[in-house]
Structure 1
Amino acid sequence: MIIIAILATLAGIAALCWLLFNLAVFALPLFAGIAIGTWAHDTGAGILGVVIVGAMAAAITFGLFQLLLLVARPAWTKLVVVLAFVAPAVVAGYHATLGIVKLTMPSDTWQFAFAVGGAAAVGVTAFMRLTMMAPPGPAGRGVASAS
């Protein structure tokens, strides 16, 4: 029975890690949606209003990201936009990893080391996924013309 519990725990941790890696790209839109939803709740919007306003804020944040990647010409501008979305993913990865390792190891030093490693892994994954969302440069760039 204890072996089944251990395997179920490992499967749960693996599922949470998979979810974290897949959803790290959306950390900033999620934060924006929660922040605006909290503001709407404080102003008396009600539960349905909070959900609608929060979802719209998250969608607008992600849409703004897509628009900025589309409009930005220099590579450094696109890098700044991508890094603005990667930073919350790194923070989320740090805290998620720290929460998991606090359950498994007593040493604060090793908890911090694993949390930093998890943050780096989540940050690199989010950076790669966000970079793949960037539209390619104009066709023919860097190609010599015959005219």
Structure 2
Amino acid sequence: MIVLGILLSIAAIGFFCWLLFTLAVFALPSFAGITAGGWAHHTGAGWLGAILIGLVAAGLTLGLGQLLLGLVRPLWARLLIALAFVAPAAIAGYHATHGIVKHTMPSETWQLVFSVVGAIAVGVTAFARVTGMAATGPSIQSPARV
């Protein structure tokens, strides 16, 4: 039974890490949607209105980010747009890693070290996925000259 518990714990941690790395790109749209939904609820839109406003805000944030990454040409501007998506993902990675290591390590110093490493790993993964989103757009090629 102890071995089964250990294997299930490893599988659960692996699943949540996979989920974190997969959904890291959507941290900014999630934050935008939750903020807009909370604002809509507090202004009297009700639960359904708040959910709809939050979903629309999240979708617009993701769509606008992809559109800007596809249209903006200066490298510094593309990096700023990518950083807007990567920063919330890194913060979410820090807190997710800290939540895990808080239960496994007594030393606060090592908790901080592993949390920062987790934030860097999630940030790098989110950056790779964001730049991958920009690279999958339509490519502009000049017509061949005869």
Counterparts of 1:6 and 1:68 in 2: how far apart (Å)?
45
Counterparts of 1:146 and 1:56 in 2: how far apart (Å)?
45
List runs of 5+ in structure 1 lacking aligned partners: none
The aligned counterpart of 1:10 is 10
Please show how residues 82-97 of structure 1 align to structure 2 within 5 Å: 82-97=82-97
The aligned counterpart of 1:68 is 68
Q: Which residue identity lines up with residue 64 of structure 1 in the other structure? A: L
Give 2:141's match in structure 1, choosing from 136, 139, 147.
Answer: 139
Residues 97-137 of structure 1: CA deviation (Å, up to 9, x unaligned): 00000011110000000000000000000000111111476
Q: Which residue identity lines up with residue 64 of structure 2 in the other structure? A: L
Q: Note the C-alpha offset of 1:77.
A: 1.0
User: SS in structure 2 opposite 1:73?
Assistant: coil
Q: Note the C-alpha offset of 1:82.
A: 0.5
Q: Note the C-alpha offset of 1:44.
A: 2.0
Q: Note the C-alpha offset of 1:9.
A: 1.4
The aligned counterpart of 1:50 is 50
Counterparts of 2:53 and 2:40 in 1: how far apart (Å)?
7
| RMSD over equivalenced CA pairs, Å | 1.7
Counterparts of 1:146 and 1:53 in 2: how far apart (Å)?
49
The aligned counterpart of 2:115 is 115
Counterparts of 1:17 and 1:50 in 2: how far apart (Å)?
30
User: SS in structure 2 opposite 1:53?
Assistant: helix
Residues 49-96 of structure 1: CA deviation (Å, up to 9, x unaligned): 111111000000001101111220111111111111100000000000
User: SS in structure 2 opposite 1:134?
Assistant: helix
Q: Which residue identity lines up with residue 139 of structure 1 in the other structure? A: Q
- Overall identity of the aligned pairs, in %: 59
TM-score normalized by the length of structure 1: 0.90
Larger deviation, residues 74-83 vs 129-138: 129-138
Q: Which residue identity lines up with residue 12 of structure 2 in the other structure? A: G
Q: Which residue identity lines up with residue 116 of structure 2 in the other structure? A: V
User: SS in structure 2 opposite 1:105?
Assistant: coil
Counterparts of 2:104 and 2:110 in 1: how far apart (Å)?
10
User: SS in structure 2 opposite 1:25?
Assistant: helix
The aligned counterpart of 1:30 is 30
Counterparts of 2:67 and 2:112 in 1: how far apart (Å)?
37
The aligned counterpart of 2:19 is 19
Counterparts of 1:121 and 1:32 in 2: how far apart (Å)?
23
Aligned residues: 143
The aligned counterpart of 1:101 is 101
